[in-house]
Amino acid sequence: MTEQIRCGVDDWVEVEGILLETADRSKNLPADTAAQPLRMWIKGFAQAEANVGEEMTVRTVTGRTVTGTLSAINPGYFHTFGKPIPELVHVGRDLRERLAAYRADGAGAGAAADEKAGA
Amino acid sequence: MASKFDEIMARRGEIMRRALGMDYSQFERSPIAFDYEAMMGDHGYSLAQIKEIQTKAGVGNTPLLELKNMTDLVRSISAPGMGARIFVKDEAANLAGAFKDRRASVSIHVAKEKGYEGVIAATSGNYGAAVSSQAARYGLKCIICQETFDSRHVGQPEIIEKSRICEAFGAEVIQMTVGPELFFHMVELLDQTGYFAASLYSSFGVSGIETLGLEVAGEMKALIGDYPTACVITHAGGGNTTGTARGLKCAGATGTQIVSASVDLSGLHMASDHDFNRKSFTTGHTGFGVPFATWPDRADVPRNAARPLRYIDRYLTVTQGEVFYVTEAMCKLEGLERGPAGNTAMTAAMSLARELPREATVVVQETEYTGAGKHHWAQLNFAREMGVEVRLGDPAENKPGTVIVIPERPEQIHANDFDLDRMRRSYIRNAVKAAPADYEPTEADIEFLAADTNTDSETAARLAHEAKEA
């Protein structure tokens, strides 16, 4: 599927802009952050047709108008869970085994046994 | 020439006064002291009224669950006769999935009553979801300012999920790159829109958490006939600790030990573009916990309602790897799949329960929702992509931003005590430094500092004197 590069009026889009240039930023920043401008992204309804990369204005859901560079059309969310973590996959099996062994051992009367005894 | 940043910050006091609908100057008593209880009570709502507001808002009355499997796991690794019973308050059952709904429900109720058209909050956490959800119910407009990306436009999956959920509730989300000027933009927007500042640190928000302490006390009394021995609280900005402790005390649970817990993120700079995506935790960590406890008034309100040093009996830190391990264990042993940051206190509770006798009880007072991105697997996969090593081993070798060490065995989980006296000293130094250089603290100031750090007057006087000399 090819990425849409031109939005129409009233399309749901995202614009990007610079809130503070490096010279205007707080003086209290570590060097790596101070070297970068403070940027922002905001979504809204396109007020005119535009191509990705062009300057345009959106009306946000609160009704504000914000001008920036068109950065995405109908932007989505693609965060996931990802693959299981190999260092964690054994945790459930190991802990269930431990619990079973502890409860099987008469000396280790656990919470479940407390309950049976009416504690 | 003054920068745009300086211009807005210079007008900050006046903008915030209108946006909070509250004049904080009436509570000031001196360059050091203010009347904390008068500020907390100024909104005029009783705890019963707050409870009513929350019930109508779909907030509170969350299940209190006994974790018998976690308890037995702890007992299996404890000395004979040791291993306290562990309980959890499943705060993920709140409307937007976290205890933060308690804070937001009161703030948004106040905003509606005072006639504001909308609300604004600066948050990258669950509070954004809570404010957005409550604003939707009350028919108010909502803007969330969020620190989302590093300068390469890469964001932690957990924060991307927070953007999504806020937008799902109809909020306007302003996603920004790293930097404390998030608050500058919030103030600029408050000025521009005339909206209400739904600060995390107002008395409205913190009072909203008192019901959580009240519920913990009442439900434990009903369930086991007594208040909990200890209540373990995931600690970031300090509101959770402050509100819960106040609620417990209000209910009469004055003997319950207040234990705050944070993920140790020492060595990482909270405003660093490079470190931003190497934290693996977005909240509940020492990067908020320590600076906010030692100087609460750094917040976006003139006087912070979250003053945790007043209430903390112990402050425990745990490692990233330990929390991810416990989050996985909670899924497999208790059928509770919840967000990792909310399990910070659970991790500390496992360690604490080992030190306590079997008759003792430990309540972990929150969980948070989980889902794509906001999940321990997502956070660990992302950490690897950012070049952080993830391996099995002794969690004592965990190094934030460099290596996350997942415990091999539950015996390796061990919370560390953070030195509270060091925090008290640091707080008093900050309070004295904030006053004019020629100002001499009065007796009333010393009383205030003692109360604000939960210490005696002699200690407060000595620390204030040391701070003046330094």
Count the alpha carbons within 13 Å of A8 in the hemisphere toward its beta carbon: 0
In chain B, the percentage of residues whose pLDDT exceeds 70 is: 100
B59-96+209-417 CATH choice from 3.30.930.10, 3.40.630.30, 3.20.20.60, 3.40.50.1100: 3.40.50.1100
pLDDT of residue B5: 82
**Beta-carbon count within 10 A of B122 CB:** 27
Cβ neighbours of B169 in A, within 8 Å:
none
Yes or no, beta carbons of A39 and B273 under 8 Å apart: no
Cβ neighbours of A64 in B, within 8 Å:
172, 192-193
Q: What is the DSSP string of A58-98?
A: EE-TTS-EEEEEEEEES--------S--TTTTTHHHHHHHH
Q: Which CATH architecture has domain B4-52+98-203?
A: 3-Layer(aba) Sandwich (3.40)
Q: Which residues in chain B (46-75) have CB-CB distances under 8 A to chain A? A: 66, 68-69, 71-73, 75
pLDDT of residue B300: 87
Average pLDDT over residues B134-148: 98
CB A74 within 8 A of CB A11: yes
pLDDT of residue B423: 97
pTM assigned to the model: 0.96
Nearest in space to A77 (alpha carbons), one of B370, B122, B278, B167: B167
- Residue B364 confidence class, pLDDT cut points 50, 70, 90: very high
* CATH 2.30.30, applies to A6-73: yes
Closest approach of B371 to chain A, Cα-based (Å): 8
Please give the Cα distance from B460 to B452 (Å, whole number). Answer: 10
What's the pLDDT tens digit per position in B391-422?
999 999 999 999 999 999 999 999 999 999 99
Cβ neighbours of B323 in A, within 8 Å:
none
Structure tokens at B386: 């950012």
- Residue B241 confidence class, pLDDT cut points 50, 70, 90: very high
- CA-to-CA dists, residue B302 to B16, B17, B43, angstroms: 8, 9, 16
CB B330 within 8 A of CB B366: no
Average pLDDT over residues B450-469: 96
- CA-to-CA dists, residue B84 to A109, B38, B334, B354, B366, angstroms: 13, 38, 17, 7, 18
pLDDT of residue A118: 46
What's the pLDDT tens digit per position in B245-284?
999 999 999 999 999 999 999 999 999 999 999 999 989 9
In chain A, the percentage of residues whose pLDDT exceeds 70 is: 87
Residue A113 pLDDT exceeds 70:
no
Widest CA span in chain A: 75
In chain B, the percentage of residues whose pLDDT exceeds 90 is: 94
- Residue B2 confidence class, pLDDT cut points 50, 70, 90: low
Count the alpha carbons within 13 Å of B243 in the hemisphere toward its beta carbon: 32
Q: How far is CA B209 from the centre of its chain?
A: 11
Average pLDDT over residues B200-223: 97
H or E segment and range at residue B120: strand B118-122
pLDDT of residue B7: 85
**Beta-carbon count within 10 A of B433 CB:** 12
CB A60 within 8 A of CB A43: yes
Which of B173, B273, B410 minimises the CB distance to A36?
B273
Cβ neighbours of A112 in B, within 8 Å:
68, 72
Compare all CA atoms of chain A with the CA of B174 and give the residue at the minimum distance: A42
Yes or no, beta carbons of A61 and B170 under 8 Å apart: yes
Q: Cβ neighbours of residue B331 under 8 Å, at least 6 residues apart?
A: A92, B337
Residue B32 pLDDT exceeds 80:
yes
What's the pLDDT tens digit per position in B299-335?
889 999 999 999 999 999 999 999 999 999 999 999 9
Which of A32, A82, A95 minimises the CB distance to B273?
A32
Q: What is the mean pLDDT of chain B?
A: 96
Q: What is the mean pLDDT of chain A?
A: 91
Average pLDDT over residues B433-446: 96
Q: Cβ neighbours of residue B78 under 8 Å, at least 6 residues apart?
A: B353, B354
Q: Where are the domains of chain A?
A: 6-73
- Residue B437 confidence class, pLDDT cut points 50, 70, 90: very high
What's the pLDDT tens digit per position in A31-81?
999 999 999 999 999 999 999 999 999 999 999 999 999 999 999 999 999
- Residue A114 confidence class, pLDDT cut points 50, 70, 90: low
Q: Which amino acid is at A95?
A: L
- Residue B201 confidence class, pLDDT cut points 50, 70, 90: very high
Yes or no, beta carbons of A30 and B271 under 8 Å apart: yes
Yes or no, beta carbons of B332 and A29 under 8 Å apart: no
Residue A112 pLDDT exceeds 80:
no
Residue B436's Cβ-count burial label (10 Å; 0-12, 13-18, 19+) is exposed
- Residue B9 confidence class, pLDDT cut points 50, 70, 90: confident
Nearest in space to B165 (alpha carbons), one of B116, B214, B192, B125: B125
pLDDT of residue A119: 42
Chain A CB within 8 Å of residue B414 CB? no
